[in-house]
Structures are given as C-alpha cells and as structure tokens.
Structure 1
Amino acid sequence: MHRVADAYGRLLAHHGPQSWWPAETRFEVIVGALLMQQTAWGNVEAAIRNLRHAGLLDVRRLAAASLPEIRRCVRVAGLYRTKPARLRTFCRHLLDRADGDLDAYFARPTAVVREDLLAQRGVGPETADSILLYAGGHPVFVVDAYTVRIASRLGIVRGTGYDRVAGTFTRGLPSDPAVYRECHALLVAHAKGFCRPRPRCDPCPLLGICDHGRRRKG
C-alpha cells in the first residue's frame, strides 16, 4: 500500500469524516479562501457573517460595493487595507469572465481555471487550489503548512516545494475530489491535535509509519 493511502486510512479511522469545507455555498467558499490568508478560520467566519448581514454575500453586490462597505465587514479577518480590494476585484473578474456563473467558470479544464486563478492579485497556489477543490470540485490537492509538516515528518516527501508535496498526495490517493477534500481536512485536524510544532508522538495514530516519531522514540 502507498504510504499516503496508509496514512489517509489511519487518519480516517482515528478522526472520522470531517465533512469540509465549512461554508453554505460555493461563493462562500471562494470568499472564505480569499479572506483566509494570514488569519484564523473563526475570523473568516465572522467576516462572512458580516457580509451576509450587510446583504453583500453575492458576487454582483460585492462587485458593486464600495471599499469602505466591504472593509467594515471583513476588517475582522485582518489585512483590511488589501483584502477588500482583492475581494471586489475578484468578483468583478468573475462577472467579466463568466457573468458571475460559477458553473460556467468552473466548467473549463482544471489547468485553465488554475492559471486564471493564479493570475489574480493575491491568489497563490494554496488559495487557487482551495477554490478549485472546494468550490469547483476539481481534482487538485491543497497543500498548506499542516500538510507540509505532516508529510515531512512521515518521511513521504523530500523537500517542501508546493508542487512536490501536492504530487506526493495525488499519486498516493484516488483521483477523486471527495477523497482529496477529506484527506486535507484530516491533515488539518491531525496537525492541530497531534502533529503540532511540539508533536504528541506517543498517542499518535501515525506513529507506526512516521519516520520522525520513530526517531524520537529511539
């Protein structure tokens, strides 16, 4: 069995299904991904609630809103001088590219949509792949700091380059967006509960296949 598949099975057995992404609509997923940079998810949830209460959680309304209006809603998510403008610009891009129709936007090939996302200001690989996977249902694997930490400690990847780590997971798992979503969510849960900066190796369900854990145990 591929070590990635082995790790995924162990994580699923221990933590159970995570059922991510915690958002009500695909547009909320996009907004959340754009706001998530350098902040905690709780702050993003608060910003999304503010946008909803202000009647702005809609691609056309957000594209037409003033920056002060948006700023009041998303300030809690940090980077309030840059995130409002990037959020509005992205909504205007969705209108220009697909008339705000997410089905049409995501109907294009994965590589085409990813290139388009990466061309937008403030959208890096992690944000682009979060949008592709969770909002678009495309088979890409999201790599974040938690993923890199666990993969490096397990010894399943050498180096921390984004594409290298992502490729390790896509080669080791079925090419299924549902599996990629579940695995990514499980990695986040595991990094918070066990594979912390100071790891809890003794009770870790991955100890038997973890290079770092075995070295610590001697």
Structure 2
Amino acid sequence: MNFERLYDVLKATYGNLGKWWPGDKEEILITAVLTQSTNWKNVEYAMENIYKLTNKERLLDFLYKLPKDELANLIKPAGFFNIKAQRLKNLLEFFKKYNFDLDTISREENLRDKLLKIKGIGKETADSILLYVFEKPVFVVDAYTKRILNRIYNLKLEDYDEIQELFYKYYPKDVQLYQEFHGLIVEHAKRYCRKKPLCDSCFFHKCAYFTSPFLTY
C-alpha cells in the first residue's frame, strides 16, 4: 500500500476521530507531560487527583503555585512522579512569563525552539503541545508511529525528524489532518498493531510484518 493512502485507509476503518486528544488547552498542556512513558488511564487517575483540589478555570495557576512535592504526590498514578513534577514546573515557569496567556504565547516566533529549551520537554511533547494546544501544523511522532511504519512499510526509521519529514513530504501541512491522523495511528496501534500484534484480525493482511516472520518491533 502506498504511504499516501495510509490516512484514508485508517479513516475509512475508524471513522472521524476529529481532534482526538481529550481536554481543553490547559488540560492538554498538563497531560502532554503526564503521558510520557505511561498509558492514558494512569494520566486520567492523576488528573482526577488534581481536580479534587481545583477546577479547570485555574488549573495552570494552581499547579504553578503548588509546591513540587505536593504536585508529585497528586500525579503519582502517572509514574515517574518526581521527574514529571519537575518537568511540569519547568513548563509552567515558561508559561508564567506570559501570565498563562495562551493566545500571546501562540504568536511567539520560534515557539517550538523555545519549548525544546525547557528541561524535560522533548520533541514529541513539544509537538503535541504545538499541534493540540496552539494548533500549529506539526506532525507528532510517537512510538506507535514508528511501530506502524516498521510493520506496514518495513521502514526502520528511528530519527524523529526523519520520520516527521516523511509525513510532511506526503501529506499537506494541515492542523485538522495531523490531529486526526495522529489519533488514527494510535487507535490502530492499540486495537491491532499492539506489541503482540493481532495480525489475523487486522485489515492490513499484506503488510510487511504479516508477510515476513523476521520483522520485530
């Protein structure tokens, strides 16, 4: 299957996912960090702990003022809670410079470079924030993306930028397209293309992984 058909095939199967990443902009800022190296259910548990103490309207300011050890205790379900608490503090410190005004931050030049300078904010997290919070046309590359490229197309790519450029080459830079495409990839990886794939049930019967016993990922 040609790479430029991947989006259409996934959408024909899973339907219209829309934005996919749940929550408002402030929630997405927080969950983009919490979801690092954990599953979404654990992120939800951590957010539930936070909402026992505050509401969505004052989320960023509340977490900014909250002592780091108390924040770490709230987000324990998300794992690596001390590390993530510090990363959240680093991110919130950056946003505090703009009084948490997301519209002002969105107009900043070289925003991606500025996010990447924040300790603990890597390319995947920065691009998730850019795409889902600030609605910039950047494609998010995650472990699911690498897995599907390897299994369906036998593309053993590891470099983040190289994978991202592949999507830019074949798909127009469009916010709604990238938001939904990312979600479709995640959906397929969770349903069929798992660590232990369900190849017999998957509709990609002629993918590289299914036809070769030597591919692993």
Q: Normalised by the size of structure 1, how large is the TM-score? A: 0.88
Partner residue in 2 for 1:108 = 108
Offset at residue 214 of structure 1 (A): 3.5
Deviations 1:99-122 (A, max 9, x none): 21011112234xx11111111111
CA contact under 8 A between 1:11 and 1:205: conserved in structure 2? Answer: no
Match of 2:127, SS?
helix
Equivalence map 1:104-143=2 (5 Å)? 104-109=104-109, 112-143=110-141
Q: Which amino acid aligns with 2:37?
A: Q
CA contact under 8 A between 2:139 and 2:182: conserved in structure 1? Answer: yes
CA contact under 8 A between 2:69 and 2:82: conserved in structure 1? Answer: no
1:214 to 194, 205, 211: 211
Offset at residue 68 of structure 1 (A): 2.8
Equivalence map 1:116-195=2 (5 Å)? 116-155=114-153, 157-195=155-193
Q: Which amino acid aligns with 2:83?
A: T
CA contact under 8 A between 2:132 and 2:179: conserved in structure 1? Answer: yes
CA contact under 8 A between 1:156 and 1:168: conserved in structure 2? Answer: no
CA contact under 8 A between 1:33 and 1:130: conserved in structure 2? Answer: yes
Offset at residue 204 of structure 1 (A): 2.3
Please, what is the CA RMSD of the aligned residues? Answer: 1.9
Offset at residue 56 of structure 1 (A): 6.7
Of 2-11 and 27-36, deviating more is 2-11
Query: Runs of 5+ in structure 1 lacking a partner?
Result: none
Offset at residue 159 of structure 1 (A): 2.3
Cα distance in 1 between the residues matched to 2:162 and 2:7: 18
Partner residue in 2 for 1:18 = 17
Partner residue in 1 for 2:39 = 40
Partner residue in 1 for 2:75 = 74
Cα distance in 2 between the residues matched to 1:26 and 1:156: 36
Partner residue in 2 for 1:5 = 4
Q: Normalised by the size of structure 2, how large is the TM-score? A: 0.89
Cα distance in 2 between the residues matched to 1:99 and 1:156: 46
Partner residue in 1 for 2:196 = 198
Deviations 1:99-156 (A, max 9, x none): 21011112234xx111111111111111111111111101111111110010112227
Cα distance in 2 between the residues matched to 1:181 and 1:50: 27
Q: Which amino acid aligns with 1:99?
A: N
CA contact under 8 A between 1:157 and 1:168: conserved in structure 2? Answer: no
Q: Which amino acid aligns with 1:91?
A: L
Q: Which amino acid aligns with 1:211?
A: A
Q: Residues 197 and 72 (structure 1 numbering): CA distance in 2 closer, same or farther, change over 3 Å?
A: closer
Q: Percent identity?
A: 35
